[in-house]
Structure 1
Amino acid sequence: MRVKKQKRHRKIVRFYTACYGFRQPYKVLCDVTFVHHLVTNRITPADKALSNILGAPVTLFTTKCAVAELKMHGPSLGPSHSESLEAANSLVTARCDHEDTMSADDCIMDVIGKNNSEHFFVATQQADLRKRILKIPGVPVVYALRTALLLEAPSDTQRQFVKTSEEQRLHMTDLEYKMLEKTVRGTKNMFDVGSGDQFLEVPAVEKRRATRKELGVKDEVLFKRKKAKGPNPLSCKPKKTSKGPDSGKERNNEDASVRSRKKRKRSRKGKNPVKADG
C-alpha cells in the first residue's frame, strides 16, 4: 500500500512540474492548522516528512497574518499552543503586504493569486480552503491524516485548464497571424515585381534572336555527333589453343606424312660411271 501511495504522489508531482513549471526545491505554504497538526502528532522534522512525499527538497513558508491569527486564537488550541506558535515562527515568512491583519485563509488565497506565480504547494487541514484552492489552476494541496501526509490529486478544473492551454498553443495568436500575413504579402509583392521585369525583357530578347537569325548567326555552337567506330582489333584476337603433351607427336606425324608425299629428285649430272676391271 505504501508503494502505491508513493507512485501516486510521484505521478501528481510530475503533472505539476510538466504542466505548470514547478521546480526544485519546492515551496510549501503552510496554514496554521497544518502546523498545529504536525506538532500535535509529532511529525518532525516537518521539512523531511514533506520532502519524502514530494520526492525533492522543500522550503516551508507561512504568512504573518497566519502567525497573528495563531497568536490571537492560540489558547483555544490547548497546551500545544506555544509549540505551534514557535514552529510557525521558525518558518520562512512569505510576503503578503497586508497593512491590516486579515484571516489566514484570505491571506493565503491572496498570496497564491489567480495563477500561483510563485509555484506554492499549499498545506492545510481545512476542507473548505482545500476546495477553494483546487479551483485555481496550478495549486497542489497537501494535507495530513493522523501521522500520514497526503498529496491531493489534481482537480478536473486544473486538468481542463492544461488541456485548453495545450490546444491554444497549437493555434496561432492574432499577433502571429498578422506577422505571417505581412510576411506573405511582402513576399508576394517581391515576386510580382520580378515577374514584371521578366515580361518587359521578353520582347527585347525575341527581337535580338530574330535579328541574329536573319544575319545567319547561330545562337549556340553546334557540335557534330561522334560516329561509332569499329571494335578494337586487340580485343578480337583469336583464343590461344592449349598445348597438351600429345600436340608434339601430332605435329611430327604430320611432317612425316608431308615428306613421304614429296618425291625426291636426284640429279645425275657430273657423275662418271664406274668401270669394272677386267
Structure 2
Amino acid sequence: MKVKKQKRHRKIVRFYTACFGFRQPYKVLCDGTFVHHLIANQITPADKALSTTLAASVKLFSTKCVIDELKGLGESHSEALQAAHELTIARCEHERKKSADACIKEVIGEKNMEHFFVATQDVDLRKKLQEVPGVPLIFGLRNSLFLEQPSAFQRQFVKASEEGRSHMTESEYKMLKKRAKDILETEEIRELSNEDEDVGDQKLELQTVKRKDNTRKQMGVKDRPQFKRKKAKGPNPLSCKRKKSHENSNMGSGKESKDGDNTMRSRNRKRKRSRNGKNLVETGS
C-alpha cells in the first residue's frame, strides 16, 4: 500500500511540474490547522515528512495572518504557534489583518504564480483552491500525509491551454501575416534589381562592341584576317614517276616476239613428232 501511495504522489507531482512549471525545491505554504495537526500527531520534523511525501526537497512557508490567528487560539495552540514562527514568512500585501484562509487565497492569487503547494486541514479552503489552476493540495490523515488528486477543473484547464497553444492567437497571426508580406516585398525588390542589372550588363556589352568596331574602322583594321591563297604552278616533281624510254619498250617488245616464236615453234615440233610417230606405226603394220 505504501508503494502504491508513493507512485500516486509522484504521478501527481509530475502532472504539476509538466503542466504548471513547478520546480525543486518545492515551496509549501502551511496554515495553522496543518501545523497543529503535525504537532498533535507527532509528525516531526515537518520538512522531512513533506519531502518524503513529494519525493523532493521542500521549503516551508507561512504568513503573518496565520501566526496572528494561532495567537488568538490561546495556549492550546502554543506549540503550533512556536513551530509556525520557525517557518519562512511569505509576503502578504494587504494592510489590514485577514483570516488565515482569506490571506492564503490572496497569496495564491488567480494563477498561483509563486508555485506554492498549500498544506491545510480546512476542507472549505481546499474546495475553494480546487477551482484555481495549478494549486496542489496537501492534507494530513492521522500520522500520514497525502497529496490530493488534481481537480476536474484543473485538468480541464490544462486541456484547454494545450489546445490553445496548438492554435495561433490574433496577435501571432498578425505578426505572421506582416512577416510574410515583408518577405514578398523584399523578393520583388531583389527580382527588379536583378533585372535592372541584367539590362545594364547588356547595354555595357553593346557599348563595348560598338567602341571596338569604331576603333577598328578608324585604324583600318578588318574584322577577319584575309590570307592570299597560293595557286598550284605544277605537279611536284618528287611525286611524279619517271617516263619510260622508247628503246626499253622496243627491246621489251622484241623479246616478247622472240619468246612467242619459240613457243610456237616448240608447239609445232611436238605436233610434227606426234604425227611422224603415227606414220611410222602405220608403215610398220
Do the structures match in fold with TM over 0.5?
yes
1:51 aligns with 2:51: yes
CA distance in 2, matches of 1:29, 1:193: 61
* Structure number having the greater helix percentage: 2
Residues in 2 aligned to 1:196 and 1:61: alpha-carbon distance in whole angstroms:
67
Question: 2:135 aligned with 1:139, yes or no?
Answer: yes
Distance change (3 Å), C-alpha of 1:189 and 1:69 = same
Higher radius of gyration, 1 or 2: 2
- CA deviation profile, 1:123-172 (whole Å, cap 9, x unmatched): 00011100101110110000001111000001111111111112222222
Distance 2:189 2:21 in 1: 49
Letter in 2 for 1:153: Q
Matched, 1:180 2:176: yes
The 1:193–1:143 alpha-carbon spacing in structure 2 relative to 1, beyond 3 Å, is: same
Structure 1 CA distance for aligned equivalents of residues 9 and 132 of structure 2: 20
Cα distance in 2 between the residues matched to 1:198 and 1:10: 63
Q: Given the alignment of the two structures, is residue 41 of structure 1 paired with residue 37 of structure 2, yes or no?
A: no
Give runs of aligned pairs for residues 108-119 of structure 1, distance below 5 A: 108-119=104-115
Q: Partner of 2:26 in structure 1?
A: 26
- TM-score (normalised: structure 1): 0.68
Correspondence list, 1:34-183, <5 A = 34-75=34-75, 80-183=76-179
Which AA in structure 2 matches 1:12? I
TM-score by length of 2: 0.67
- Amino acid of the structure 1 residue aligned with 2:114: E
The AA in structure 1 aligned to 2:135 is V
Aligned position for 2:264: none
Distance of aligned partners of 1:173 and 1:4 in 2 relative to their CA distance in 1, 3 Å threshold: same
- RMSD (Å), alpha carbons: 2.5
Question: C-alpha distance in 2, partners of 1:24/1:198?
Answer: 58
CA–CA separation in structure 2 for the residues paired with 1:197 and 1:69 = 77
AA of the residue aligned to 2:18: A
Counterpart CA distance in 2 for 1:90 and 1:194 is: 70
Unmatched runs of 5 consecutive residues or more in structure 2: 210-285
Q: Deviations over 1:56-108 (max 9, x none)?
A: 11111111101101111235xxxx42111111111111111332211000000
Does the CA-based 8 Å contact 2:132-2:154 persist in structure 1?
yes
- For residues 63 and 195 of structure 1, the distance between their equivalents in structure 2, rounded to whole angstroms, comes to 67
Please give the alpha-carbon distance, in whole angstroms, between the structure 2 residues aligned to 1:118 and 1:198.
56
CA-to-partner distance for each residue in 1:23-71, whole Å, 9 max, x for gaps? 1111110010011111111111111100001001111111110110111
SS in structure 1 at match of 2:50: helix
- CA pair 89-193 structure 1, distance change in 2 beyond 3 A: closer
Q: Provide the C-alpha distance between the structure 2 equivalents of 1:195 and 1:45, rounded to a whole number of angstroms.
A: 74
Which ranges in structure 1 are unaligned for 5 or more consecutive residues? 212-278
Contact conserved, 2:70 with 2:78, CA < 8 A, in 1?
no
- Equivalences, count: 208
Output the amino acid matched with 1:156: A
Q: Give the Cα separation in 1 of the matches to 2:53 and 2:151.
A: 19
* Aligned counterpart, 1:8: 8
The aligned amino acid for 2:11 is K
Paired residue type of 2:161: S
